[in-house]
């Protein structure tokens, strides 16, 4: 049978379901939240507008919204956080994407350390934080424009670095393409990349690695 196909829910088990809200009709979204709500699980909604949140709130009272990361959260369980993930940004404009990563990681049970505005234009700011960053099991490095930060960090630590390019920038940035290519071509070791602006993916993967570090493969 397909029993093993269900294993992929293991990480989430007891932690809640995920809904990608962007572009879903209100009618549709409500139906999804309602059906999850009935199961009394925790729910994480990503890329939600304020209007979508208000529609959800009307039927799921516990729902909360974070404008910066555009995340809807329904948390009823008592989430126990383990290990440590460092979430770093190149500039303050990258914070929304970083918060999507950080809050996703926290939702799935990781401790998160936030370190903002340490881009290479003023690299000394980064160095003063390296000791702290080195304490994390995995680093999520978020950067727009030329997207250099993840590669520089990966050259300074020996933990996995998850690079998140953002669409912050203009002109030949081409909506994040520049940062994406920078990260894919990084010659530092121990770096991999997720989609442009995909904080969720980085927070989820970061949690998977953080767990392996804390609990091993069990």
DSSP-derived secondary structure for 22-53: TT--HHHHHHHHHHHHHTT--EEEES--HHHH
Which of ligand AMP, Mg ion, its own copies, none interacts with 209 (beta carbon under 5 to 8 A by kind)? its own copies
Q: Does 181 interact with its own copies (rule: CB under 8 A)? A: yes
Contact 42, 76 (CB under 8 A): yes
Which of its own copies, ligand AMP, Mg ion, none interacts with 28 (beta carbon under 5 to 8 A by kind)? its own copies
Distance (Å, rounded) from C-alpha 167 to C-alpha 158?
A: 27
Q: Rounded to the nearest whole angstrom, what is the least distance from the CB of residue 138 to ligand AMP in the complex?
A: 19
φ, ψ of residue 15 to 5 degrees: the values are: -115, -15
Considering beta carbons, is residue 22 or 135 the nearer one to ligand AMP? Answer: 22
Site string for ligand AMP, 43-62 (x = CB under 6 A): ---xx---------------
Distance (Å, rounded) from C-alpha 205 to C-alpha 163?
A: 11
Site string for its own copies, 15-54 (x = CB under 8 A): ---x-x-xxx---x---x--------------x-------
Contact 147, 164 (CB under 8 A): no
Q: Does 89 interact with ligand AMP (rule: CB under 6 A)? A: no
Distance (Å, rounded) from C-alpha 148 to C-alpha 91?
A: 11
Question: End-to-end alpha-carbon separation of the chain, Å?
Answer: 24
Which region, judged by CB under 6 A, interacts with ligand AMP, from 33-41, 91-99, 123-131, 156-164? 91-99
| Interacting residues toward ligand AMP by CB under 6 A | 18-20, 46-47, 91-93, 121, 187, 189, 198, 200-201
């Amino acid at each position: 049978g397909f029993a093993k196909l269900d294993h992929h829910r293991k990480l989430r088990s007891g932690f809640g379901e995920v809904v990608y809200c962007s572009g879903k009709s209100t009618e549709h979204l409500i139906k999804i939240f309602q059906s999850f709500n009935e199961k009394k699980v925790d729910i994480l909604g990503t890329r939600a507008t304020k209007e979508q949140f208000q529609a959800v709130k009307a039927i799921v009272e516990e729902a909360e919204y974070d404008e910066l990361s555009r995340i809807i959260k329904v948390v009823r369980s008592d989430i126990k956080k383990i290990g440590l993930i460092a979430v770093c940004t190149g500039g303050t404009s990258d914070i929304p994407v970083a918060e999507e990563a950080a809050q996703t990681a926290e939702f799935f049970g990781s401790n998160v350390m936030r370190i903002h505005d340490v881009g290479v234009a003023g690299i000394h700011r980064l160095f003063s934080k390296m000791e702290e960053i080195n304490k994390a099991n995995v680093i999520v490095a978020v950067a727009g424009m030329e997207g250099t930060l993840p590669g520089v960090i990966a050259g300074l630590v020996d933990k996995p670095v998850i690079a998140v390019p953002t669409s912050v920038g203009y002109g030949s940035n081409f909506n994040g393409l520049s940062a994406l290519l920078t990260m894919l071509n990084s010659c530092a070791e121990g770096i991999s990349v997720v989609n442009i602006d995909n904080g969720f993916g980085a927070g989820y993967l970061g949690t998977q690695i953080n767990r392996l570090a804390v609990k091993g493969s069990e």
